[in-house]
Amino acid sequence: MYRADLHCHSTCSDGTYTPIELLHLAKNVGLSALCITDHDTLDAYTEETYKEAENLQIKLFMGVEFSSRYLGHNIHILGYGVTQSNSILEFCKRHVKRRKDRNLAILQKLKRLSFPIEEEELYQIGLTRVIGRPHIAQIMVEKGYVNSIQDAFDRYLGDSRCCYVIDDSFTAQETIDQIHEAHGKAFLAHPHVIRKTQIITSLLALNFDGIECYYSLLDPAQEKKWLKIAHEKNLLISGGSDFHGTVKPQIQLGCSYVDENAVEKIFNRH
């Protein structure tokens, strides 16, 4: 059976498997196609990664998950089938810069609570990786400040918790425009995390191409709700696990997926 997991993260952002390891895992769990949607970077898409995908006969599609802001909310937007244009690569670089400032602001808040972490410690994780809150959470665990990554998010780092710093990122509209300029399709990621119905309604009035309707361990009733909305608004449908590896051990690669028909509609070029 054809199954495509169109949402997962590698070590290029906050996943724990390298792109090559993700491809092997995809093969082992019987996926036909994969899209590695790292946060704000296309670094997973090297010649080596494409070669390995070909060896393993896994169809690899290019994708990315951008953080954006919309009326004070942190909105994730998937860019599917983008090309590595200069403009999108420059956009990714600007994300790295704004993340650096944001990470520093989070570390300052933690320091005030007597949980010091030096900026250098954070970037020891990898200079080429896109660094974010899960990495800060990991260091908090290592230093004994919290019991688990989840504990760090629940008490300090999660949206609106005491050490949260709002994403001063690009607007949802700017992000959609960037994706379109790179010939990609823009999808609203995991819409169920947006709790306010008015926000979803007005967001979906933007020129999105689709909605992520199948997501991770989302229950079937929720999936049905998003499928109905996608249908009503004439939007495409995507799905994936949002696999991050050992930092989110409850989620397996391929636990959520779409079929070949959905993949055709997202990645064909007409």
Residue 133 lies near ligand AMP (rule: CB under 6 A) = yes
Q: Give 150 or 222: the residue with its C-beta nearer to ligand AMP.
A: 150
Secondary structure of the chain as H, E, C letters: CCCEECCECCCCCCCCCCHHHHHHHHHHCCCCEEEECCECCCCCCCHHHHHHHHHHCCEEEEEEEEEEEECCEEEEEEEECCCCCHHHHHHHHHHHHHHHHHHHHHHHHHHHCCCCCCHHHHHCCCCCCCCCHHHHHHHHHHCCCCCCHHHHHHHHHCCCCCCCCCCCCCEHHHHHHHHHHCCCEEEECCHHHCCCHHHHHHHCCCCCCEEEEEECCCCHHHHHHHHHHHHHCCCEEEEECCECHHHCCCCCCCCCCECHHHHHHHHCCC
Q: Give 33 or 189: the residue with its C-beta nearer to ligand AMP.
A: 189
Q: Give 25 or 117: the residue with its C-beta nearer to Fe ion.
A: 25
Residue 150 lies near ligand AMP (rule: CB under 6 A) = yes
The contact pattern for Fe ion, residues 42-81, with x = CB under 5 A and - = no contact, is -----------------------x----------x-----
Residue 85 lies near ligand AMP (rule: CB under 6 A) = no
How many Å apart are CA 216 and CA 200, to the nearest integer?
A: 20
Q: Give 165 or 229: the residue with its C-beta nearer to Zn ion.
A: 165
17's tokens? 């498997």
Residue pair 34/5 in contact by the 8 Å Cβ criterion: yes
Smallest distance from ligand AMP to CB 250, Å: 11
Site for Zn ion in 5-34 (CB under 5 A): 14
Residue 242 lies near Fe ion (rule: CB under 5 A) = yes
Q: Give 185 or 244: the residue with its C-beta nearer to ligand AMP.
A: 244
Which one among 39, 73, 185, 190 touches ligand AMP, defined by CB under 6 A? Answer: 39
Q: Give 48 or 159: the residue with its C-beta nearer to ligand AMP.
A: 159
Residue 129 lies near ligand AMP (rule: CB under 6 A) = no
Site for ligand AMP in 44-83 (CB under 6 A): 67
Smallest distance from ligand AMP to CB 215, Å: 12
Residues near Zn ion (CB under 5 A) are 14
Binding site for Fe ion (CB under 5 A): 65, 76, 189, 242
Binding region for ligand AMP (CB under 6 A): 14, 39, 67, 132-134, 150, 153, 158, 244
